[in-house]
A and B are shown apart, each in its own frame.
Chain A
Amino acid sequence: MSNLTGELTVQADTTAPLRAAGQRHLLRNRLPMHITLLIFAFLVMLPAYFMLITAFKSQDEYVFNKIGLPQTFTLSSFETALRGGRFFLWFGNSLILTIGSVLLAGSVSVLAAFAFARMQFRGRNLLMLINTALMVIPPVVMIVPLFLFLGEFNLTSTYQGAIIVYAGLITPFSIYMLTNFFKTIPHELIEAALIDGATIRDILRRVIVPLSAPALVTMVIVNALWVWNDLLIALVLLPKDELRTLMVGITVFGTRFNSDVPVTMAGMLLASVPMIVLYLLGQRYFIKGLIAGAIKE
């Protein structure tokens, strides 16, 4: 995947006049490409534009100026959105669930992927195949039994119950991705460690995990995105008001402030900032991770 960021390679074997003609030719071809991409980039950015300009308008201004930039710039919508602290509560709940489930899924996946990638045992291919199949099963299919089953253990409306379910749902992808990565670690490194008297646990802790930092970061980011953005599981398994996640909260928020569009948009802007920042900082990891389940490296 390293060539995802590859640059245009320049061919040096053409003579100068030919190259100039070629560039004119390229320019003529490329104008429609630029226009098409610009149109789509514009369409993609429209909701973000709407969210940004509206969040900084007052409700009075919004009524007569929906399309343009805010004439009087105000932060009062953000104040209203954050008033009462509900937003921070939802934010905290999402954070707890995301961290908990990503850690749990990460630990069990590292162990399982180590076995899949580096050990010989009966049923390996079959288990891997089942794991791959689980990656495509929509969570909505499992939600009713999970809800009833967690109820029997008094785990509905608890962090623990939701964390276990989230962790389970992101584990198949994590195992798949880590197994593929662990397979690429040179065997000589493991052999050298074995000769030095390392146990299997040492190999995992001192060789495999340290060498897999990029894959682990990718896994954490993709899983965090998944849990953070989920609506259905949180809606069903955490019905209590004080356990609402950010995603459940904002759908309620959207209806409560329905008439006050600037406040709603301020809320949406606040809710989308964490993932956008994470995306802009770690774009490579996001992209790598999201295609890891689809294309083998």
Chain B
Amino acid sequence: MIKTGRFTPYLFLLPGVVLLLFVFGYPLVSIFDFSMRRIRVNVGPYIGIANYEQIFKDDVFKQAIQHNVLLLAAVPIIVVLSLLLAILLYERITGWKVYRTILFLPYIIAIPIIGVVVSNMFQLNGIVNESLRTVGLGNAALDWIGSPQLALLTIMGTIVWREMGFGIILFLARLLSLNEELEDAAKVDGAEWWQRRLYITIPQMRGVIEFYGVISMITMLAWVFAYIYAITHGGPGNATVVLELYMYNFAFRNALPGIASAVAVILLVITLFLMIPVFLLRIREQRESEDRL
């Protein structure tokens, strides 16, 4: 540590703190206030919990929640697939670096671009259905985006397809930092490949798997706006409306920031609730590293 004057550290922090107070501090406090007002333009009278009552009575809100919950069901798929692929890459078979570069590529491409490409591929007469017809699976050529039953599943598949890239890289990084002595010991003891992965590798990765699971859950609840906006805009009907889009429509289409803020509060509370376990882990880590110093 450098010896400084008492106030010097705070001077260094000042620009960052001012910026964060403006972008995070003020909005995070004011959504609670806004959510209890009937706001027109930017002011309005206090109305208690009326905004929340109105939301909970709204059928579209219930649909939005259901859609987010359905998307949550994809989290185990994302985690298992990225874990499997990371473990395969970890074998460092010939060409593994090329596979790694390719598998991570979707995560680099912007979601709006992916959305536009996917919505063209899955059109009624798009390449996906044409391919299915060519190989004689014409019955499986469905209206992937135009039908209310399928649209959300198509979006879900797209999300899994892209978000997996991050999971693979995250898990691979952890795998490559594992202690290989345990692995060697198990090999000497005659453990099969899958036994070593299941009983030695995966247990050691518990922390990062939990972390990624939580991050993916937060993604499914509060980071899917761009997918929905670029692929379906929430349609057909309300078939793919999620909380974020519901909030966006209230704030910027219907000009009702009070109601939008109530949705924002709900999103914030769920996110923070999900983060508690990861947070406790971080605090423990921080304490341990302070002890070592």
Contact = CB atoms under 8 A, between A and B. Distances in A.
B12 A138 contact: no
Nearest to A9: B180
A220 interface: no
A143 B268 CA distance: 12
B85 interface: yes
A163 to B, nearest CB: 11
B130 A136 contact: no
Given A140-B222, A140-B247, A168-B20, A268 B13 contact: no
B27 A190 contact: no
A109 B16 contact: yes
B106 A44 contact: yes
Contacts of B9: 115, 119-121, 124
Contact of A50 (B108, B113, B121): B121
B28 A4 contact: no
Contacts of A251: 112, 115-116, 229-230
Main secondary structure on A side of the interface with B? helix
B68 to A, nearest CB: 12
Interface string B85-109: 1001101111011010111111111
A6 interface: yes
B113 A272 contact: yes
Contacts of B126: 66
Interface string B135-173: 000000000000000000000000001000110011011
Nearest to A37: B99
B26 A138 contact: no
A219 interface: no
Among A272, A276, A296, residue most surrounded by chain B Cβ atoms (within 10 Å): A272
A195 B134 CA distance: 77
Interface stretch (A74-82, A146-154, A210-218): A146-154
Interface string A98-120: 00000011011101101110111
A8 B267 CA distance: 45
A138 B264 CA distance: 10
B218 interface: yes
Interface string A233-276: 00110000000000110110110000001001100100110011
A53 to B, nearest CB: 9
B116 A41 contact: no
Contact of A7 (B6, B10, B17, B92): B92
B99 A112 contact: no
Contact of B267 (A7, A127, A131, A138): A138
B261 interface: yes
Contact of A111 (B15, B134, B176, B271): B15
A47 to B, nearest CB: 5
B108 A144 contact: no
B124 interface: no
Interface in A30-80: 30, 33-34, 36-37, 40-41, 43-48, 50-51, 54, 66-67
Among B13, B85, B248, residue most surrounded by chain A Cβ atoms (within 10 Å): B13
A167 interface: yes
B200 interface: no
Interface stretch (B45-53, B54-62, B69-77, B281-289): B281-289
Contacts of B199: none
Contacts of B261: 144-145
Contacts of B23: 142, 146, 164-165, 167-169, 171
A268 B24 contact: no
Contacts of B282: 129, 132
B240 interface: no
B186 interface: no
A37 B30 contact: no
Contacts of B283: 129
B88 A296 contact: no
B184 to A, nearest CB: 9
Among B20, B126, B193, residue most surrounded by chain A Cβ atoms (within 10 Å): B20
A127 B20 CA distance: 11
A250 B22 contact: no
A209 to B, nearest CB: 13
Interface string B250-293: 01100001001100100110011001001100110110010000
10 closest cross-chain pairs (CB), A and B: A168-B23, A142-B27, A138-B222, A254-B116, A112-B16, A145-B27, A229-B110, A115-B12, A121-B9, A119-B9
30 contacts: A37-B93, A44-B102, A44-B105, A45-B102, A47-B114, A50-B127, A108-B15, A108-B19, A112-B13, A112-B16, A112-B17, A124-B9, A133-B275, A136-B215, A136-B271, A140-B264, A141-B264, A145-B30, A145-B34, A172-B20, A175-B16, A247-B110, A247-B226, A248-B112, A251-B115, A251-B230, A253-B116, A272-B110, A279-B105, A286-B104
Given A136-B275, A138-B271, A171-B23, 17 more contacts: A1-B173, A44-B105, A44-B161, A51-B117, A111-B15, A119-B2, A120-B9, A129-B283, A142-B24, A144-B27, A175-B16, A229-B111, A231-B110, A231-B230, A254-B116, A264-B120, A265-B117
